[in-house]
Structure 1
Amino acid sequence: MTTVRLTVAQATIRFLAQQYTRRDGDEQRLVDGFLGIFGHGNVAGIGQALLEAELHDPGEMPYLLARNEQGAVNAAVAFAKDRDRLSTMAVTTSVGPGAMNMITGAALATTNRIPVLLLPADVFANRRPDPVLQQLERPQSGDVSVNDAFRSVSVFFDRVWRPEQLPAALLGAMRALTDPTQSGAVVVAFPEDVQAEAYDWPEELFRRRIWTIPRTPADASSVAEAAEWIAQARRPVIVAGGGVHYSHAADALASFAERLGIPVGQTHAGKGVLPHGHPMDIGGIGSTGTTAATELAAEADLVIGIGTRYSDFTTASMSLFADPGVRFVNVNVTPIDAPKLSGLPVLGDARAVLAQLDEATAHLSADADHVARVAALRAEWDRQRQAAVSQGWAAHSELGLPSQAELIGVLNDEMAPDDVIVNAAGSAPGDLHRLWQPRSRRQYHVEYAFSTMGYEIAGALGVALSDDTRQVVALVGDGSYLMLSQELVTAVAERRKMVVVLVDNRGFASIGNLSESVGSQRFGTRYRYRDAASGRLDGDALPVDFAANLRSLGVEVFEAGSTEEFRSALRRALDAPDCAAVYVRTDPLAPAVPGGAWWDVPVAEVSGIETTRRARDEYERDRRAQRWHL
């Protein structure tokens, strides 16, 4: 057997460079590159191996210097999401705090069902220098490190205590990264000393390896039963989730829905599976959905979920589907999601199953009355949307500022069909879910499974790394920006163009609105000085200069004070050759965009505050619509 002598880290890089995925005959690299930050735990191991790869072959395993470990994972997740989970990036960090900073990103990846490879450094396997710098000691267990915290937020975890364990760990990690039924964070921890150990590896370990992503059809009996339920339904509705995107099933869904006249509401992950203008597109569905989707879901006697995990926002906390006899057909590749809401599980790849259902329902046709009702509700929603994005709120605002909805309308107008809007947290996801009219499948990129504040800029970097032929716009609020904006520096360094639209509403507007709705009077949600007299955070607004901060990071900034100025500034930012930003203030008290359904946020059952007592009464009334789907 021919062998090659390499360190564990060098062998890891060489192995990863030879991993590919294949689906429908198309091949691409599984791990397209590395993001990371070096510390004592990985600089002499994985860091040295990446340097050696760069010097030997610059394209073998590209490395990007990140500025924040959580941001690096966010960027890798966005990259994998944009690649429909067929390709991802690896993230390397040092031991201790560097590794722990990835925990939030790992949870984000697993919650969103997005594969990402995380390679944190770990404590010394030989234990001679124990406790090593940044090591957390546990008196109860000597073989546990902080990296064991990854176990609860990852779909695969391993630790390479000895060089001989590396092949099994890496092959297990690749199996997990390419398993569409169990996507999420994949973690392999590398003790600091083991990374630098040399070993004689069989050359076979470094051969080109292709991981085929299958299109698994569903069991014929479940398809037949689902077809019977569809034939019996009079008011069906489809809930399309991210699985439709990842399966490349958008075209199949479009033709299936139009032929049978079934309206399609989309989750955040599924939005864009139907382009705006498709006759069965009813936009976002759930707590942040359109009025059309809310009404049709409430009337539905059959809900066909395709690639959705049925989050509480999608089901409006189990209050959306109100028909007493409503039934559910759940098409999903993931066993944990297929049986939800006591639905009929149709387990398989979305595109493959849609082909099966299309054949099994070939004798059926659309119900003209149902199609007409869908068209009427869509038209009414279009009127409501147009009013929201063109309301001229500044004329009514005490601050003389525009609404966020108006800015979203401008963004939708000015961005090209193939451009990408990136968002994750605050009030923007709800407005985007209702108002955005996607003109291409990938245009809408909103992370709303974990809704991680600070995802926006790092996520935009990941999308730009995936494909730099498009404009990528990160729509970020002032709260999210202050939490995690560092990867903007990475984008500048890598010359990856992105546009940041920073919306300043002087605090946490989304939670402020929620706080007010539950009777808590926007407590702790405004960016204010502490008032000396009251002792509360209700003084003057803080003098944070976001435009100056953006400029200090190497970004050209355009400022806007009105909707018209915002349109002009956005055009200039989109035309800029390098990273640019638009800074604009909005009125946090602008009226909410119509649409959507209830969301369960429990209110204090007893209180000495009148606003809380009133909110509790409303809560008791609203939750009567909640139901078990058993």
Structure 2
Amino acid sequence: MTARRLTTAQALVTFLARQYTERAGHRSRLIAATWGIFGHGNVAGIGQALVEAGPETMPFHQGRNEQAMVHAAVGFARQSGRLSAHAVTTSIGPGATNLVTGAALATVNHLPVLLLPGDSFAARPADPVLQQLEVPYAGDVSVNDCLRPVSRYFDRITRPEALIPAALAAMRVLADPAQTGAVTLALPQDVQAEAYDWPEEFFAERVWRVPVQQPDRTALLDAADAIRAARRPLIVAGGGVHHSGAEPALRALVEATGIPVTATQAGKGSLPYDHPADVGGIGHTGTVTADGLARAADLVIGVGTRYTDFTTASGTLFQEPAVRFVNINITGFDAHKMAGLPVIADAGATLRQLTEALTGHRVPAGYESAYTAAKAEWETLVSAAYAADREDVRPTQAQVLGVLDTLVTGEDILINAAGSLPGDLHKLWRTRSRDQYHVEYGYSCMGYEIPAAIGVQLAAPGRPVWALVGDGTYLMNPTEIVTAVQEGLPVKVVILQNHGYASIGGLSDSVGAERFATGYRFRAPDGTYTGDPLPVDLAANAASLGLTVLRAQTVRELREALATARTSDRPTCVYVETETDDTVSGPPPAQAWWDVPVAETATRPSAVKAREEYDRQVAARRRHL
């Protein structure tokens, strides 16, 4: 057996460069690039190894914030269909702990990212080392152990030879559609630099085939029987539709059967908005049409959805007494939710076989005509929310989306994650292609959008990529703007200035907390944050980081600025202060209830009233058994 003498870090980089995925004959490099910020925990190990390997072996991207680097990697992985991912390396201490939020986001959303944080000395010649957390009751604990609960696989490489099984296990998890998420290999700084005679076979090219899991025939036929027996079936399309590339199979099924399709945030775009069977988003931010169908559905067919409380209102929305569930999902954990009939398999494979099993079946004509008419009525409401009677006034948030709607094609990709924008986008956005709508709502992480746009742009060069952010989200994590400028990535950042946490402000009002500490304002004489808006100039901040900034004060200026940004070949920002009066233009209110507990006892009238409404709504809760 021949051997190659390399450091552990050099061996890891060499190994990663030779890993591939393959699905349905399409091969991708599994780890396409590495992000990094260097310090004493990784500069002499992974840093030196990357220099030695060179960009031809392992491309490298320089980050500004560790959490943001993970977000960029996640954006890349999602746009790449989970077949290709990025690695992220950090020093020990704060650099490593800054990974935790990004790791949780990746794991919640089942998106692959490889984390390579530095760690304190394995041999402990210096103890405690700089930035080391000392735990009196356990000598083998470091801050990297914070990553265990948010990782799908975790290992600490305390000897060079331990890298071999750990690296192979890491690749297995990253490539597994049912298990993927954040994978962490903690790398003690002395082990990174230690040399070892590695077997040459470790560096052989490996192809990790992503299986297309077929459905159990009995479960499939049971599902078909349930659909044939239903009078008002409804499909809930989740992110699994996109992950499995099941959009054509879904379209074929609904066109054959007439079953309407609603979508979660992750599943929006499973059908284009103008398809007759697409009835829009479901849940608290859903459409009138979709939520009305959900209340009356006698069979709900979940395809790749986790049934989270906000995006599907799963505990209160499905009100038909006899409602039952069929759940098509790659993971048994999700397939068994809602006491549903589980079909544990790839969404595309299952939908294709289900279409064959349902040959000749179609929903009642009256049901189809009713939801078609309701869909047309909803589109009228969307057009009204988008419309601006005058071009010389400040736009509402809905009108910003309306102007953008007139400019984009199916090539454009919209990225959002938090605040009030996800609600408006879920209700209103007219999705034109399977991957246009990129709203991260599994974790709904503020600060995701700008770094994710960089990752998406890397995966989709030549396509217009938009990061839509409110002012609260922008202030959370604008640092990767510098990376976009450095890399010459023409992302388009749209900053909507609404002076604070507008979404939580509305929620605060509804639960009796009176918008406490949700506005970006000076203190008033009574000590509350209800004074004038803060004189913060986010456009100037974006310009200082290198963006070309276009300010828009009216609907007309907004239209011109967005059109200019769309064709720009460099990173560009459109800054617009929005009209906050929702009576001017806005989407219809929530059509499903979100269970946010309200104070059971209070003296302030707003909280007392909110509790009365909570008690009324909570009576609709049910467990589907």
Q: Quickly name the TM-score band, shorter chain normalised.
A: over 0.9
Partner of 2:151: 154
Partner of 1:611: 606
Q: Is the 8 A contact 1:67 1:490 kept in 2?
A: yes
Supply the distance in 2 between the matched residues of 1:117 and 1:344 (Cα, whole angstroms): 34
Partner of 1:593: 587
Partner of 2:441: 448
- 1:376 equivalent to 2:373? Answer yes
Supply the distance in 2 between the matched residues of 1:425 and 1:304 (Cα, whole angstroms): 27
- 1:557 equivalent to 2:549? Answer yes
- 1:433 equivalent to 2:423? Answer no
Partner of 1:543: 535
- 1:519 equivalent to 2:516? Answer no
Describe the superposition over 1:32-52 as per-residue Cα deviations: whole angstroms up to 9, x where unpaired.
Answer: 001110011000000000111
- 1:486 equivalent to 2:479? Answer yes
CA drift of 1:417 comes to: 1.3
Describe the superposition over 1:214-234 as per-residue Cα deviations: whole angstroms up to 9, x where unpaired.
Answer: 111111111111010000001
Partner of 2:409: 416
CA drift of 1:392 comes to: 4.5
Describe the superposition over 1:519-578 as per-residue Cα deviations: whole angstroms up to 9, x where unpaired.
Answer: 2111100111123x2122222211101111111011111111122211111111112220
Which residue identity does 1:357 align to in structure 2? Answer: L
Q: Is the 8 A contact 2:288 2:591 kept in 1?
A: yes
- 1:78 equivalent to 2:75? Answer yes
SS of residue matched to 1:525: coil
Supply the distance in 1 between the matched residues of 2:526 and 2:317 (Cα, whole angstroms): 43
Q: Is the 8 A contact 2:232 2:363 kept in 1?
A: no
1:92-241 maps to which residues of 2 (within 5 A)?
A: 92-241=89-238
SS of residue matched to 1:61: coil
Quick check: 591-600 or 80-89, which moved more? 591-600
Q: Is the 8 A contact 2:8 2:163 kept in 1?
A: yes
Supply the distance in 2 between the matched residues of 1:568 and 1:112 (Cα, whole angstroms): 36
Which residue identity does 1:550 align to in structure 2? Answer: A
CA drift of 1:416 comes to: 2.2
SS of residue matched to 2:619: helix
Supply the distance in 2 between the matched residues of 1:607 and 1:317 (Cα, whole angstroms): 29
Which residue identity does 2:613 align to in structure 1? Answer: E
Supply the distance in 2 between the matched residues of 1:341 and 1:618 (Cα, whole angstroms): 26
Partner of 1:24: 24
1:443-482 maps to which residues of 2 (within 5 A)?
A: 443-482=436-475
Supply the distance in 2 between the matched residues of 1:24 and 1:354 (Cα, whole angstroms): 17
Supply the distance in 1 between the matched residues of 2:553 and 2:313 (Cα, whole angstroms): 35
Gaps of 5+ in 2: none
SS of residue matched to 2:399: helix
Supply the distance in 1 between the matched residues of 2:127 and 2:343 (Cα, whole angstroms): 52
Describe the superposition over 1:238-294 as per-residue Cα deviations: whole angstroms up to 9, x where unpaired.
Answer: 000010001000000011012111000011111111012111001111111111101
Partner of 1:626: 621
Supply the distance in 1 between the matched residues of 2:569 and 2:354 (Cα, whole angstroms): 47
Which residue identity does 1:74 align to in structure 2? Answer: H
Out of 309, 325, 339, the position equivalent to 2:322 is: 325
Q: Is the 8 A contact 2:388 2:555 kept in 1?
A: no
Gaps of 5+ in 1: none
Which residue identity does 2:354 align to in structure 1? Answer: L
CA drift of 1:393 comes to: 8.9
Partner of 2:597: 602
Out of 491, 503, 509, the position equivalent to 1:510 is: 503
Describe the shift of the 1:393–1:300 C-alpha distance in structure 2 as closer, same or farther (beyond 3 A): farther
Q: Is the 8 A contact 1:393 1:590 kept in 2?
A: no
Q: Is the 8 A contact 2:92 2:119 kept in 1?
A: yes
- 1:59 equivalent to 2:56? Answer yes
Supply the distance in 2 between the matched residues of 1:335 and 1:155 (Cα, whole angstroms): 16
Partner of 2:345: 348
Supply the distance in 2 between the matched residues of 1:577 and 1:327 (Cα, whole angstroms): 51
Which residue identity does 2:614 align to in structure 1? Answer: Y
Out of 561, 571, 575, the position equivalent to 1:579 is: 571
Q: Is the 8 A contact 2:391 2:556 kept in 1?
A: no
Supply the distance in 1 between the matched residues of 2:616 and 2:388 (Cα, whole angstroms): 31
Partner of 2:36: 36
Q: Is the 8 A contact 1:468 1:497 kept in 2?
A: no
Partner of 1:50: 50
Supply the distance in 1 between the matched residues of 2:469 and 2:128 (Cα, whole angstroms): 41
- 1:334 equivalent to 2:331? Answer yes
CA drift of 1:119 comes to: 0.6
Q: Is the 8 A contact 1:262 1:280 kept in 2?
A: yes
SS of residue matched to 2:253: helix
Which residue identity does 2:381 align to in structure 1? Answer: Q
Supply the distance in 1 between the matched residues of 2:611 and 2:557 (Cα, whole angstroms): 42
Quick check: 411-420 or 228-237, which moved more? 411-420
Partner of 1:569: 561
Partner of 2:308: 311
- 1:261 equivalent to 2:253? Answer no
- 1:13 equivalent to 2:16? Answer no
Identity over aligned residues, as a percent? 55
CA drift of 1:475 comes to: 0.2
Q: Is the 8 A contact 2:270 2:434 kept in 1?
A: yes
Write out the 4+ residue segments of structure 1 that deviate beyond 3 Å after TM superposition.
391-395
SS of residue matched to 2:499: coil
Q: Is the 8 A contact 1:342 1:629 kept in 2?
A: yes
1:382-393 maps to which residues of 2 (within 5 A)?
A: 382-392=379-389
Supply the distance in 1 between the matched residues of 2:358 and 2:180 (Cα, whole angstroms): 31
Describe the superposition over 1:93-138 as per-residue Cα deviations: whole angstroms up to 9, x where unpaired.
Answer: 0001000000000000011111111110001001011100000000
Supply the distance in 2 between the matched residues of 1:303 and 1:60 (Cα, whole angstroms): 48
Which residue identity does 2:292 align to in structure 1? Answer: E
Supply the distance in 2 between the matched residues of 1:38 and 1:161 (Cα, whole angstroms): 20
SS of residue matched to 1:473: strand
RMSD: 1.2
Task: State TM-score, norm by structure 2.
Answer: 0.98
Which residue identity does 1:539 align to in structure 2? Answer: G
Which residue identity does 2:163 align to in structure 1? Answer: L
Task: State TM-score, norm by structure 1.
Answer: 0.97
Supply the distance in 2 between the matched residues of 1:267 and 1:518 (Cα, whole angstroms): 24
Describe the superposition over 1:135-177 as per-residue Cα deviations: whole angstroms up to 9, x where unpaired.
Answer: 0000000001110111111110001000010100100100110
Supply the distance in 1 between the matched residues of 2:622 and 2:145 (Cα, whole angstroms): 38
CA drift of 1:506 comes to: 0.4
Q: Is the 8 A contact 1:393 1:402 kept in 2?
A: no
Q: Is the 8 A contact 1:8 1:197 kept in 2?
A: yes
Q: Is the 8 A contact 2:306 2:334 kept in 1?
A: yes
Q: Is the 8 A contact 1:124 1:191 kept in 2?
A: yes
| Paired positions, count | 622
CA drift of 1:358 comes to: 1.4
